[in-house]
Chain A
Amino acid sequence: MIRKTPFLAAPLVAATLGAAIAATPALAFPDKDVDYIIPFSPGGESDIAARLQQPVFADEYDHQLIVKYQAGAGGAQAWSQLNSMPADGHTIMGINLPHVILQPMMSSPGYETADLTPVYWFHYTPDAIIVKADSQFQTLEDLVTFAEANPGLVTFSGSGSNSANSLAKSRFDALAGVTTTYVPFSGTGPSVTALLGDQVTASWGYSTVAAAQGDQVRMLAVASEERLPLFPDVPTFQELGYDMTGGAYRGVAVPKDTPEETRQAVSDAFQAMNNQPAMRKAMDDGAFVVIDVPYSDMESFMSERRAEIEEAAKASN
């Protein structure tokens, strides 16, 4: 049986072997394998994050995280069904911002933001402006100066309408006082292809895109609070005078009937995984920014994000 097969020898597990694990949850979580539903197709950032967590989880608890996919409607298909799933903590689901705030704001995806119960946010991928390596724009200032002189001429590829990328574009346009053209593509892959093929001037993406494309591209600025270890030479937007941090946040949610103690236990488990040095390193290498928003901080975190997103969405209309 596949699900009983223990994970072996993935490089980062090898690195964590021997790392003493103090966190032993007092409650019955996990007392069997945990279904971890990813509301997107395999191969995306949410999937990669889950794949990195899988071996660490198996290593810490004697049970598996079983990754299952339930893609559709940009995640809405799965989120709208979350509350009808078993609420014993052994069914958890990946959850993403700004998606779960934007979708109910823009259309009726079958759930409300308040219906979802996020219990932990473990990382985010900061928004970033990326140009091709041979682009004439060396710095963000070059690009802004050009955009000021030629309103509308600068085209940005990005993934989807009403998405993290389109939101970042409107936020930045408002902050810099420029007008640019946003060209939505059906995903990060096509958006980057358009950039590399010189179809657009620049691209709104995430730091992870720049990490994956290596020296084919240049990141002009990144919306993290501090410079990323992988890109010590890339300034943050804040350094350059634009008050812009954030991007796409990823976490886990549970069905709403899950008892309080179990929610806390799931939160603790993800905290423990995030604390692993190997996990931190894998995240740094992929240009993810690790954050720790446990269940206890959920309310304030969510309302901050909501205010931020509502403001940006207003700016784009």
Chain B
Amino acid sequence: MRTEPTTPGARSRGDLGTIVLCVLFVALGIWMLAGSMAMSPLGAVFPRVIAGVMIASALAILALRALGRASPPAAVETGSTPRRLLLCLALVAWAGLMPRLGFFTTSIVGFLAVLAIAEYDRWTPKRTAAYVAAALAMVGGFYLLFVEVLLVPVPRGVLF
């Protein structure tokens, strides 16, 4: 199917990801075309053109790969993948819980959670105290700025 990459590990993973993404884009394009059938002629012009370009360019990438003329692989990712995934989880939870628990509470908890994920040094009592103080200062400061000065109606939730 495709030529064997020179650096097997990273390259084949990058290739596989690109192929999966391109297949997904083709599917998205087909879904767009299907959805455009129900639209008025003027409303359908652009979605159809975009879908066409999307499908064509995704197929072109796949074809080039099949011919062995793949573009240089994306930069190989280094560092801690578990931390990356934890951070994604933390952000999703932060945004998801905000309307229910309230803006201030969620933000303090979220801030400390992300802080813990980003921390590489050892936790000493002094450092922990400094970080908690930083979290309170940052969240509190911006809370006051947004709510009192800029009049942003933040979600209150059950706590606050």
Count of residues in A whose CB is under 8 Å from the partner chain? 8
B120-160 vs A, CB cutoff 8 Å, 1 = contact: the mask equals: 00000000000000000000000000001101110000000
State in angstroms the CA–CA spacing of A35 and B151 once bound together. 10
Residue of chain A at shortest CB distance from B152: A68
Q: A3 in the interface, Cβ–Cβ < 8 Å?
A: yes
B151-A66 in contact (CB<8A): yes
State in angstroms the CA–CA spacing of A2 and B145 once bound together. 11
Q: A307 in the interface, Cβ–Cβ < 8 Å?
A: no
Interface residues of B in 6-56 (CB under 8 A from A): none
A1-B148 in contact (CB<8A): yes
B153-A35 in contact (CB<8A): yes
Residue of chain A at shortest CB distance from B144: A1
Q: Which of B148, B152, B153 makes the CB contact (< 8 A) with A2?
A: B148
On chain B, the residues within 8 Å of A35 by CB distance are: 153
On chain A, the residues within 8 Å of B153 by CB distance are: 35, 37, 68, 70
State in angstroms the CA–CA spacing of A2 and B152 once bound together. 13
A68-B151 in contact (CB<8A): yes
On chain A, the residues within 8 Å of B151 by CB distance are: 2-3, 66, 68
Residue of chain A at shortest CB distance from B150: A2
B157 CB, min distance to chain A CBs, angstroms? 12
On chain A, the residues within 8 Å of B148 by CB distance are: 1-3
Residue of chain A at shortest CB distance from B43: A161
B117 CB, min distance to chain A CBs, angstroms? 32
A63 CB, min distance to chain B CBs, angstroms? 15
A32-74 vs B, CB cutoff 8 Å, 1 = contact: the mask equals: 0001010000000000000000000000000000101010000
B100 CB, min distance to chain A CBs, angstroms? 12
State in angstroms the CA–CA spacing of A3 and B149 once bound together. 8
On chain B, the residues within 8 Å of A37 by CB distance are: 153
On chain B, the residues within 8 Å of A1 by CB distance are: 148
Residue of chain B at shortest CB distance from A2: B149
State in angstroms the CA–CA spacing of A162 and B38 once bound together. 17
B149 CB, min distance to chain A CBs, angstroms? 6
State in angstroms the CA–CA spacing of A70 and B155 once bound together. 13
On chain B, the residues within 8 Å of A68 by CB distance are: 151-153
A181 CB, min distance to chain B CBs, angstroms? 12
* Beyond A3-B151, A66-B151, A68-B152, 9 additional pairs, beta carbon < 8 A: A1-B148, A2-B148, A2-B149, A2-B151, A3-B148, A35-B153, A37-B153, A68-B153, A70-B153
Contacts A/B (CB < 8 Å), 13 sampled: A1-B148, A2-B148, A2-B149, A2-B151, A3-B148, A3-B151, A35-B153, A37-B153, A66-B151, A68-B151, A68-B152, A68-B153, A70-B153
User: 3 tightest A-B contacts by CB?
Assistant: A68-B151, A68-B153, A2-B149
Q: A residues bordering B, Cβ < 8 Å?
A: 1-3, 35, 37, 66, 68, 70
